[in-house]
Amino acid sequence: MRAVRLSVVTAAATAAALAAVTGCTEKSDAKGGDAIQVTAADSTCDTSAKSVPAGQVTLKIENKGSKATEVEIVFPDDRIVSEKENIGPGTKYTLTAEVKAGSYEIACRPGMKGHGVRQKLTVTGGKVAKRDPRLDKAVAAYREYAQTQADETLPKAEAFAKAIKAGDIEAAKKEFATSRLGWERTEPVAESFGDIDPKVDVREDGLEDGQDPAKDWTGWHRLEKSLWQDKKIGDREKELADQLVKDLTDWKERVGKAEITPTSMANGAKELLDEVATGKVTGEEDRYSHTDLSDFKGNVEGAQEAYELLKPVAKENDAALTTELDKQFTALNTLLDKYRTDKTSYDFTSYDKVGDADRKELSDAVNALAEPLSKLAAAVVK
């Protein structure tokens, strides 16, 4: 009987939670459960409401035009939430969909082609984001950090490029890992631009079928392979060194425009640990140079920076979580220090010299930190 009893209790608790949410919900011009009348014609698309509460949304569609039409609810980026195709002239159809809060459009596509005629639809509900000045400050500070990392990376990348262009393999090898640190610390921000990461940080196995490594593979890891495996610098490598600096300059100029929220900061910290867990602990990231531990450290530092900025708010909401995170960050950093003699240097043990048992220990420490870190976002927005 326990299952039943529990259900009732949780249902009641959920009801209370729902009521609390309703208290701070935006106004909608249609009530929950009310259908939106959609009158489609050959060149018009009239809707009876412009906003509805989140949840089940019902469209009562009537095609008054002369052509078959298609009616869709679409996201701002044109992804379709729900659709009904082939609604004949003079016929009616009821379309229902589960829609979360956000901005949408209702599209009528007479003749079932083209952009169609569109009406805005705002779906309201959920918590209205309350602005916490401390979080605004944290975001601003993190943006500054991300900018500083990009700014400081440029001269290092230029030094790396310079060594390559001088044909100096040994000098270039020395600059390789340090040129990556700022990137590794703030990778989720850089990756949010989408197009830069594949140019500067892709590995050979990241290429698709049909892409030619000789032409399409660019960035750090392509040069890493030349320096450590092929042991030669040719004209192509010199070109790629310039290209790397150019792409990183693009990154530097765009950091200021990155969309950063407290949630994306917290999740970005977790993603940095994901990077460690999937790429660095396995030794896949820097497979030619084996400088994985330097990238590893950069990822952890970047995650810790985001965490420290969010900590005052997170601690208020979940003190046990921040205590655990403090402990696990310290544990992981202490463990990493075993792999360098000078704590101010990023000169770590070559990862091919790190045995299986030690890699397991690193992996356990990453899991120990990443698991509570995955709860940071919730603790920040609570």
Partner 1 sequence: MTDTTEATEATSEAADGRAPTRRSLIGWGGAGLALGAAAAGGAVAMARTGNDVDPTAAETGAAVAFHGTHQAGIATAVQDRLHFAAFDVKTDDRAEFVQLLKDWTEAARRITAGHTVGEGAYGGLAEAPPDDTGEALGLKPSRLTLTIGFGPSLFDKFGLKDQRPEALVDLPKFPGDNLEQARSNGDLCIQACADDPQVAVHAIRNLARIGFGKVAIRWSQLGFGKTSSTTPDAQTPRNLMGFKDGTRNIAGTETDRLKKFVWVGEGDGPDWMAGGSYLVARRIRMNIETWDRTSLQEQEDVFGRDKGEGAPVGKAKERDKPFLKAMKPDAHVRLAHPDSNDGATILRRGYSFTDGTDGLGRLEAGLFFLAYQRDVRKGFIPVQRNLSRLDALNEYIQHVSSAVFAVPPGVRDKDDWWGRALFSKEA
- Positions touching partner 1 (CB under 8 A) are 1-4, 6-8, 10-11, 14, 263, 266-267, 324, 328, 356-357, 360, 364, 367-372, 374-375, 377-378, 380-382
Q: Is the distance from CB of 200 to CB of 194 less than 8 angstroms?
A: no
Alpha carbon distance 11, 217 (integer Å): 54
Least distance from C-beta 14 to partner 1, angstroms? 6
Q: Is the distance from CB of 275 to CB of 183 less than 8 angstroms?
A: no
Least distance from C-beta 347 to partner 1, angstroms? 28
Measured in whole angstroms, how far is the alpha carbon of residue 223 from the centre of its chain?
A: 26
Instruction: Select 5 or 257, whichever has its Cβ closest to partner 1.
Output: 5
Instruction: Select 144 or 371, whichever has its Cβ closest to partner 1.
Output: 371
Instruction: Select 347 or 364, whichever has its Cβ closest to partner 1.
Output: 364
Q: Match 């990137």 to its residue by tokens.
A: 183
Least distance from C-beta 43 to partner 1, angstroms? 39
Q: Is the distance from CB of 97 to CB of 73 less than 8 angstroms?
A: yes
Least distance from C-beta 267 to partner 1, angstroms? 8
Least distance from C-beta 227 to partner 1, angstroms? 32
Instruction: Select 166 or 320, whichever has its Cβ closest to partner 1.
Output: 320
Least distance from C-beta 18 to partner 1, angstroms? 8
Token pair listed for 368:
């120990």
Instruction: Select 163 or 376, whichever has its Cβ closest to partner 1.
Output: 376
Give the strands of the sheet with 80-87, arranged side by side.
51-53, 117-124, 102-108, 69-74, 80-87
Instruction: Select 11 or 128, whichever has its Cβ closest to partner 1.
Output: 11
99 bridge partner residues: 55
At 177, give phi and psi (nearest 5°): -65, -45
Least distance from C-beta 3 to partner 1, angstroms? 5
Q: Is the distance from CB of 157 to CB of 244 less than 8 angstroms?
A: yes
94 bridge partner residues: 60
In this structure, the dihedral spanned by the alpha carbons of residues 294, 296, 301 and 303, taken in order and rounded to 10 degrees, is 160
At 357, give phi and psi (nearest 5°): -65, -40
Least distance from C-beta 348 to partner 1, angstroms? 22
Instruction: Select 250 or 361, whichever has its Cβ closest to partner 1.
Output: 361
Instruction: Select 8 or 214, whichever has its Cβ closest to partner 1.
Output: 8
Which residue, among 261, 255, 258, has the nearest Cα to 139 in the 3D structure? 261
Q: Would you call 62 exposed, middle or buried from its count of C-beta atoms within 10 A (0-12, 13-18, 19+)?
A: middle
